Amino acid sequence: MFFRELIYLKNKKKKSFSIANEQNYILEPKDRSSLFFRKPDVIFRLKNNKEDYVNYSSFRMSINGKVMSGIITSNGIEYKPRKDLKRGVYRVSVKYLMGNKEQSIDWQFNIIEHENYKCYLGVPHSHTAYSGGKGIPSDAYEMAKKEGVSFLIITEHYRALKNRASGKVGTKFSHLKKIKELDVFNSIQYEKKLFLKKNKRFLPMCGCELSTKFYGHVNILNLPKYKNINLKDIDKFYDYVKDENIVGSLNHPNKSIREVKPYKDLDKYVCLIEICNGSLSGKYNRYEETVYSLLDKGWILGVLNSQDNHKENWGKDDNLTGVLMSKLKEDHLINALKNRRTYSTESPSLCLKFSINDYPMGSILNIKKDDTINMEIFLEDKKNKIKEVQIITNNRECIFRDPVNKKSYKSNIKYKLKKEKGWILLKVILEHNRLAFSSPVFY
């Protein structure tokens, strides 16, 4: 059911006013924010409350498609839940007419629970002979497992997915002769399922790498099915990732993307970025400054460290992506990636946890300027000593620095926010000049 919010522009001589501009309204809870509290007030509030412009009695609200008995206020509408909300995502919609055209303000928030996450390390970007690399996915999964990583995502180039897989299977995996009859996309799916049946402590995954005209290379990390994807038109690409609920990443971002602002809420789906790419033992690049630039532009992105394997070296190098999740299951990994509970590490034994007010890295919080927050750090590395800990925020400002010379570190830091909105992340310097980064916490 659609609700109409009647908007009146009574005085045409005055400057026109549109509530479709996010600078003109306040949403509570914040869009995409996480909450432990189960009875949050849900509020849509206009910053400009002149009656000349708006008929406030017309506001209507729905949550997850259900009509809410909201309270009309002097500058908007609010809903107060009578019972605790269940864990999950809540999608809010306030609908209205602008002139004779129906428009809406839509946002969402997530009710979560406290969880004791574990650190899992893996590779989110790799290739095989199906698209410019060596071997086949079964080779890659087997090697990554032996190297001790927890997951490997095969991301073959999109243009190769409909090629025939024949000719890529050697005698080592003769039991996979069936894949010669399949195209690359279905071959990878088949190899993944077969490997998963025999290996319960390793998670094989498959996605693909796209070459777009607007953001360069983009990975899809949860490719549910093959579809034709428009890589030239950003509107059509946005519709695709939204309809398919894609989890994606910006790959090896170069300097040209630093000034690009997020398109609509595309970063709800393309929600990750490679802060490092390559192999520490070979060609390797860090993109720290580019990531900071995009965060300052308003992007909501978690960080990845991708080996981007094109040789038979899956999982062999020390640079990996860490993921916080409670179980090594596909749905848990996708959920962690989608919510940016990730970190980049150049040490294969580093467990990194960074939280603010108990909310894990990657979260969007309902906090604001002048609030005092509690930042909690947990680091443990069995191989490499931690040399220094830094906390970085907007404009690359370092708000905390602590010299360390040991393999474990814990700290709680109080900090008073200086901005209305922003981001905060943890940077770790390890011995041998190796680095680690948490995903940011946003507010």
The residue extents of the domains of the chain are 25-111, 118-345, 351-442
DSSP E strands: which ranges in 112-239?
118-126, 151-157, 203-212, 216-220
Q: In sequence order, which residues have a C-beta less than 8 Å from that of residue 25 and are 6 or more positions away?
A: 19, 44, 45, 46, 47, 76, 105
From the list 179, 111, 187, the residue with the least C-alpha distance to 156 is: 187
From residue 179, give the alpha-carbon distance in Å to each of 127, 128, 147, 209.
17, 14, 25, 21
Fold match flag (25-111 vs 118-345):
no
> Can you read off the two tokens belonging to residue 417?
């926010």
How far is the C-alpha of 377 from the C-alpha of 389, rounded, in Å?
A: 9
> Can you read off the two tokens belonging to residue 136?
């086949």
CATH entry, 118-345, from 1.10.3720.10, 3.20.20.140, 3.90.320.10, 2.60.40.420: 3.20.20.140
For the chain, 443 residues long, give each residue's pLDDT as a single digit of tens.
333 233 333 333 334 444 556 678 999 999 999 999 999 999 999 887 554 566 777 889 999 999 999 999 888 899 999 999 999 999 999 987 656 666 689 999 999 999 999 999 999 999 999 999 999 999 999 999 999 999 999 999 999 999 988 655 544 555 566 666 789 999 999 999 999 999 989 999 999 999 999 999 999 999 989 999 999 999 999 999 999 999 999 999 988 899 898 999 999 999 999 999 999 999 999 999 999 999 999 999 999 999 999 999 999 999 999 999 999 999 999 999 999 999 999 999 999 999 999 999 999 999 999 999 999 999 999 999 999 999 999 999 999 999 999 999 999 999 999 999 999 999 999 999 999 999 999 99
148, 170 Cβ separation under 8 angstroms: no
Run of H or E including 241:
helix 234-244
Instruction: Write the DSSP symbol of residue 21.
Output: S
Residue 233 pLDDT: 97
> Can you read off the two tokens belonging to residue 394?
């907007």
Residue 55 pLDDT: 72
Return the ∠ at Cα 196 (arms to 193 and 202), rounded to 5°. Answer: 145
Residue 281 pLDDT: 94
From residue 19, give the alpha-carbon distance in Å to each of 49, 76, 103, 105, 266.
11, 11, 10, 9, 21
101, 90 Cβ separation under 8 angstroms: no
Cα atoms found within 13 Å of the Cα of residue 261, Cβ hemisphere only: 3
Residue 125 pLDDT: 99
Measured over all CA atoms, what is the biggest interatomic distance in the chain, rounded to whole angstroms? 79
Crossing angle for the helix pair 184-198 and 137-146, nearest 10 degrees? Answer: 30
CATH placement of domain 351-442? 2.60.40.10
pTM of the model: 0.91
From residue 80, give the alpha-carbon distance in Å to each of 12, 61, 69.
36, 12, 9
Q: Which amino acid is at 200?
A: K
Please check whether the domain covering 25-111 is classified as CATH 2.60.40.1220. yes
